[in-house]
Amino acid sequence: MTFQDFKFHSDVAAGIAGAGYAEPTPIQAQAIPVVMAGRDVMGLAQTGTGKTAAFALPILHRLRSGPRGRVRALVVAPTRELAEQINDSFATLGAHTGLRSVTIYGGVGMNPQVERLRRGTDIVVACPGRLLDHIGQGTISLAHLEVLVLDEADQMFDMGFLPDIRRILRAVPKTRQTLLFSATMPEAIRALAGEALTDPATVQVDRVAPAVTVSHALYPVEQHLKTALLMRLLEHTDTESVLIFTRTKHRAKRLDEQLQKAGYRAASLQGNLSQNRRQAALDGFRDGSFQILVATDIAARGIDVSQISHVINYDIPDTAEAYIHRIGRTGRAARSGDAFTLVTGEDTAMVRTIEKVLGKPLQRRHLDGFDYSVPAPRKDTEFARTPRQPQVRRAKPAPAAAAPSVPASDAAKPANKRRRFKRNGARSGQSR
Ligand code: AMP
């Protein structure tokens, strides 16, 4: 299948060429014809599959004809970062259409958004809360809406947005095309789909299969040695940009500080940051001024840095879905990436769950030359403490001896030789 098969208007085809897309991804190949036919769609796809273009391209094609300056397409997304990325996709893919798109989200001034809406737009990409503010104040008119997209519906559910989504559904015309995308299908999303979609076509790309180019490895280690092991891994691994996940905001901040002390150009994303600082950290990560970003799952939502070479789970996530979601940020669009997970004995049950979902065992690695025998400090610091007891039966930890031993320099040998991680030897400008 090629993009020509969809018979997009030449202005849209020019946008695809401009974005450098050679051929449709599987979700695009499945979804675009159905969306073009005007059907409602339930799309099961995670980030990194090309799902944005799967809805953006047919929307641009549809909106290309018809009146300009009215909101005819609305995309609702869980986070500002995702909203900005979707907006960027519309800008790139729609560069030759003359269609306008604006973002609407909280944490920034209302007035510039009101002004942009007043000047007229064809597409709105919004987070639920602020969108409802505009609806409530009458600063947005959705009377001419033709297409509604609910993106990352499961994330919106996790973040408690479902009541807001239902309010939004009541505020848009009944006759419309609705596309709902979700990486997973919990009961709450099934119910939402039942309310929002009419006779939907379901399109699905491997529900939980991560990008094939990602290589996964587990590093069994005791809790109090995690930071030391992480430092050794970074020293011995060729990395471009690394996204590190921790279980809590506090741990993200502490780890960021420790990395900076060790001379890394690092930043952390925590819920407490102002929108400006958050944006500065994200921009710095995107343009390479920060090589390491430490974040929690919530803070990292929507991050799409296509050149992420490594995702490191400093703490294992709570669910297999979250694992897939995290590592979906590396190895995008056929780039190779590595996903390392530091695991303690407490994580054995979750490791099993992840392996079951992935359908294969994950490789255990042992870093040669690293002193695994350093005892825990007598008085545990908060950081060294296990953040949370998992809600699972404790299983016997995998014996460390089962882990194949690899020389430190080979611990994370990438398929293609990458730039070795540079340390700048000094604390550097963190955006706080
Ligand atoms: P998404 O899942 O929409 O976040 O897209 C993931 C990444 O894949 C983004 O960086 C897109 O620009 C890129 N992408 C989307 N469609 C294609 C395509 N057909 N060919 C190559 N890259 C694509």
Q: For the residues 230-239, what does the mean pLDDT come to?
A: 85
Q: What integer pLDDT is reported at residue 408 of this predicted model?
A: 37
Ligand 1 close to Cβ of residue 328 (< 6 A): no
Residue whose Cα lies nearest atom 20 of ligand 1: it is 21
The rounded distance, in Å, linking the Cα atoms of 79 and 83 is: 6
Q: Which has the closest alpha carbon to 40: 177, 174, 147, 152?
A: 177
Rg (C-alpha) for the chain, rounded Å, is 23
167: left (phi over 0), alpha (psi -120 to 50) or beta: alpha
Ligand 1 close to Cβ of residue 302 (< 6 A): no
Least confident of 42-51, 132-141, 312-321: 42-51
Ligand 1 close to Cβ of residue 50 (< 6 A): yes
Task: Count the alpha carbons within 13 Å of 402 in the hemisphere toward its beta carbon.
Answer: 11
Q: Which ligand 1 atom lies nearest to the CA of residue 89?
A: 12
Q: What integer pLDDT is reported at residue 395 of this predicted model?
A: 37
Q: Which ligand 1 atom lies nearest to the CA of residue 52?
A: 3
Ligand 1 close to Cβ of residue 330 (< 6 A): no
Other Cβ atoms closer than 10 A to 409 = 13
Confidence of residue 287 (pLDDT cuts 50, 70, 90): confident
Are the C-beta atoms of residues 70 and 144 closer than 8 Å to each other?
A: yes
Q: Which ligand 1 atom lies nearest to the CA of residue 25?
A: 19
CATH 3.40.50.300 fits 214-358, yes or no: yes
Taking CA 62 as the corner, what is the angle to CA 13 and CA 26, rounded to the nearest 5 degrees? Answer: 60
Q: For the residues 142-154, what does the mean pLDDT come to?
A: 96
In the reported structure, the alpha carbon of residue 322 is separated from the centroid of ligand 1 by a whole-number distance in angstroms of 20
Q: For the residues 138-157, what does the mean pLDDT come to?
A: 95
- Counting Cβ atoms within 10 Å, is residue 428 exposed (0-12), middle (13-18) or buried (19+)? middle
Ligand 1 close to Cβ of residue 256 (< 6 A): no
The rounded distance, in Å, linking the Cα atoms of 392 and 347 is: 9
Residue whose Cα lies nearest atom 13 of ligand 1: it is 50
State pLDDT tens for residues 46-93: 777 889 999 999 999 999 999 999 999 999 999 998 999 999 999 999
Q: For the residues 91-112, what does the mean pLDDT come to?
A: 96
Least confident of 178-192, 240-254, 387-401, 414-428: 414-428
State pLDDT tens for residues 362-416: 889 998 889 999 988 865 554 555 555 444 433 333 333 344 444 433 333 333 3
pLDDT surpassing 70 at residue 343? yes
In the reported structure, the alpha carbon of residue 335 is separated from the centroid of ligand 1 by a whole-number distance in angstroms of 12
Q: Which residue has the tokens 């269609």?
A: 99
Q: DSSP states of 253-288 as a string?
A: HHHHHHHHHTT--EEEE-TTS-HHHHHHHHHHHHTT
Q: Which residues of 182-215 are buried (b: 16+ CB within 10 A; e: fewer)?
A: bbbbeeebeebbeebbeebbebebeebebbeebb
Taking CA 285 as the corner, what is the angle to CA 151 and CA 415, rounded to the nearest 5 degrees? Answer: 90
Residue whose Cα lies nearest atom 16 of ligand 1: it is 50
Q: What integer pLDDT is reported at residue 399 of this predicted model?
A: 39
Flag whether the pTM goes above 0.75.
no
Ligand 1 close to Cβ of residue 24 (< 6 A): yes
Query: What does the mean pLDDT of the chain come to?
Result: 83
Q: What integer pLDDT is reported at residue 277 of this predicted model?
A: 82
- Counting Cβ atoms within 10 Å, is residue 139 exposed (0-12), middle (13-18) or buried (19+)? middle
Q: Which ligand 1 atom lies nearest to the CA of residue 3?
A: 19
Q: What integer pLDDT is reported at residue 381 of this predicted model?
A: 53
Ligand 1 close to Cβ of residue 309 (< 6 A): no
In the reported structure, the alpha carbon of residue 203 is separated from the centroid of ligand 1 by a whole-number distance in angstroms of 17
pLDDT surpassing 70 at residue 419? no
What counts of helices (H) and strands (E) characterise the chain?
15, 16
Residue whose Cα lies nearest atom 12 of ligand 1: it is 50
Are the C-beta atoms of residues 224 and 198 closer than 8 Å to each other?
A: no
Ligand 1 close to Cβ of residue 48 (< 6 A): yes
Q: What integer pLDDT is reported at residue 432 of this predicted model?
A: 28
Q: Which has the closest alpha carbon to 265: 418, 407, 421, 386?
A: 421
The rounded distance, in Å, linking the Cα atoms of 222 and 146 is: 54
Residue whose Cα lies nearest atom 5 of ligand 1: it is 50
- Let me know how long the chain is: 432
Q: What integer pLDDT is reported at residue 239 of this predicted model?
A: 72
Does residue 54 sit in helix, strand or coil?
helix
Greater pLDDT, 97 or 23: 97
Report, at the CATH architecture level, how domain 3-204 is classified: 3-Layer(aba) Sandwich (3.40)
In the reported structure, the alpha carbon of residue 49 is separated from the centroid of ligand 1 by a whole-number distance in angstroms of 6
Phi and psi at residue 282, to the nearest 5° = -65, -45
In the reported structure, the alpha carbon of residue 417 is separated from the centroid of ligand 1 by a whole-number distance in angstroms of 24
Least confident of 29-38, 178-187, 257-266, 373-382: 373-382
State pLDDT tens for residues 296-319: 887 776 666 566 778 899 999 988
Ligand 1 close to Cβ of residue 51 (< 6 A): yes
23: left (phi over 0), alpha (psi -120 to 50) or beta: beta
Enumerate residues 6+ apart whose C-beta is below 8 A from 245.
Answer: 294, 295, 296, 297, 300, 311, 312, 313, 314, 315, 317, 326
Percent of the chain with pLDDT over 90: 56
Greater pLDDT, 375 or 336: 375
Q: Residue ranges per domain, the chain?
A: 3-204, 214-358
Q: Which residues of 337-351 are buried (b: 16+ CB within 10 A; e: fewer)?
A: bbbbbbbbbbbbebb
pLDDT surpassing 60 at residue 424? no
Ligand 1 close to Cβ of residue 307 (< 6 A): no
Confidence of residue 280 (pLDDT cuts 50, 70, 90): confident
Would you say the CATH fold of 214-358 matches that of 3-204?
Answer: yes
- Element spanning 340, H or E: strand 337-343
